[in-house]
């Protein structure tokens, strides 16, 4: 049995689980494999381990991998895998949960980005190393309005922190009701009101065909010129062209971005040079606690499948 472990950018997968217990030939890939090379590179592997949604497995790739029998993903949902194509080809797909105590890691990162934007920490830190002193007046957070696009598990966690800071927290999503908003401790408002009145906006929705582009150009254009937007969910939720144009024109205060249409972000990608941005490399889920649970669960999934008793099957 040959096992490919993909997208091990941090080079930690081998040390975090007992791969030798599989009695298999395991190869770790610490570099991103280009989509047009994925099927060819993995043609001789029986088992492929995908790190979340880093590498995509559409039908064309699945069909071009003659030996593939098992596809294991970290996490229990992976929108980059064509499950129907796997079903038709008889490829088993299993999910591997992470650390349950790390469910708030993405919310923590959202707040790290938001506070850094409010308090102008990146700029002031650079200015300090350059010998300068007090080059801006960072605004207070207390009393400001925080708008949440999505008030699910992560949105609720972000809301609690905002309320602890003394912010007014409002929320909107296509399916959010007043009852669910009340359960989250936030006020339901219209999409237009959220974008036009919030001082900071944080996006917390699952990307799907229905939610793609839910933060459209009209919504972004209605934002206050001083407002910030933070996205730790998925890039496809926001009109990327419109957002970049507003940032370049200085029509909104700034953006904290952890997710991109293409990952890993190319070294020459335009986002790296877009002004008024604070960029992180999709760190929301990448905690040592999560990875230390992801990979042992991956090994357990492979062992269970090899024994004829696959577990956590997603297909």
Per-residue pLDDT of the chain in tens (315 residues, 90 and over written 9):
999 999 999 999 999 999 999 999 999 999 999 999 999 999 999 999 999 999 999 999 999 999 999 999 999 999 999 999 999 999 999 999 999 989 899 999 999 999 999 999 999 999 999 999 999 999 999 999 999 999 999 999 999 999 999 999 999 999 999 999 999 999 999 999 999 999 999 999 999 999 999 999 999 999 999 999 999 999 999 999 999 999 999 999 999 999 999 999 999 999 999 999 999 999 999 999 999 999 999 999 999 999 999 999 997
pLDDT for 80 equals 93
Beta strands in the chain (DSSP E): 2-5, 25-28, 47-50, 70-74, 92-96, 145-149, 168-172, 187-188, 200-203, 228-231, 254-257, 277-279
What is the set of active-site residues?
Answer: 234, 263, 282
3-state class of 306 per DSSP? helix
pLDDT of residue 144: 98
Quick one: pLDDT at residue 232? 98
Q: Record the tokens describing residue 230, joined without a space.
A: 């933070």
CATH architecture type of domain 102-279: 3-Layer(aba) Sandwich (3.40)
Q: Which of 107, 122, 79, 63 is nearest to 285 (CA)?
A: 107
Rounded-to-integer distance, Cα 88 and Cα 177, Å: 38
Strand order in the sheet with 277-279: 187-188, 168-172, 145-149, 200-203, 228-231, 254-257, 277-279
What's the pLDDT at 315? Answer: 79
| pTM of the entire predicted model | 0.94
Asked if the 2-99+287-306 domain carries CATH number 3.30.470.10, the reply is no
What are the residue boundaries of the structural domains of the chain, listed by start? 2-99+287-306, 102-279
Which tokens sit at 305?
């499948």
The two beta strands, 70-74 and 145-149, are: unpaired
Which phi and psi angles does 46 have, rounded to 5°?
Answer: -85, -35
What pLDDT does residue 306 have? 98
SS3 track for 173-233: CCCCCHHHHHHHCCEECCHHHHHHHCCEEEECCCCCCCCCCCECHHHHHCCCCCCEEEECC
Q: What is the pLDDT of residue 103?
A: 87
């Amino acid at each position: 049995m040959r096992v490919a472990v993909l997208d091990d950018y941090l080079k930690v997968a081998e040390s975090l689980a007992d791969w030798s217990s599989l009695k298999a030939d395991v190869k770790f890939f610490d570099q991103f494999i280009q989509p047009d090379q994925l099927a060819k590179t993995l043609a001789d592997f029986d088992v492929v381990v995908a790190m979340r949604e880093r590498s995509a497995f559409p039908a064309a790739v699945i069909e071009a991998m003659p030996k593939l029998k098992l596809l294991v993903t970290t996490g229990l949902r992976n929108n980059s895998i064509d499950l129907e194509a796997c079903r038709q080809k008889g490829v088993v797909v299993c999910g591997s949960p992470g650390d349950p105590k790390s469910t708030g890691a993405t919310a923590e990162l959202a707040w790290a980005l938001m506070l850094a934007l409010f308090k102008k920490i990146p700029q002031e830190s650079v200015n300090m190393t350059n010998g300068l002193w007090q080059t801006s007046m960072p605004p207070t957070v207390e009393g400001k309005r925080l708008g949440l696009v999505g008030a699910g598990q992560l949105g609720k966690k972000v809301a609690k922190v905002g309320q602890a800071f003394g912010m007014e927290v409002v929320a909107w999503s296509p399916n959010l009701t007043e009852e669910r908003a009340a359960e989250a401790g936030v006020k339901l408002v219209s999409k237009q009101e959220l974008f036009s009145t919030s001082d900071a906006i944080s996006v917390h929705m699952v990307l799907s065909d229905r939610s793609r582009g839910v933060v459209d150009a009209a919504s972004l254009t209605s934002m206050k010129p001083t407002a910030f937007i933070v996205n730790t969910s998925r890039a496809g939720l926001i009109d990327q062209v419109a957002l970049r144009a507003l940032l370049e024109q200085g029509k909104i205060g700034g953006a904290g971005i952890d997710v991109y249409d293409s990952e890993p972000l190319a070294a020459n990608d335009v986002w790296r040079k877009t002004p008024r941005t604070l960029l992180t490399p999709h760190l929301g889920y990448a905690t040592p606690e999560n990875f230390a649970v992801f990979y042992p669960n991956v090994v357990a999934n492979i062992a269970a499948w090899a024994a004829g008793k696959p577990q956590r099957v997603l297909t």
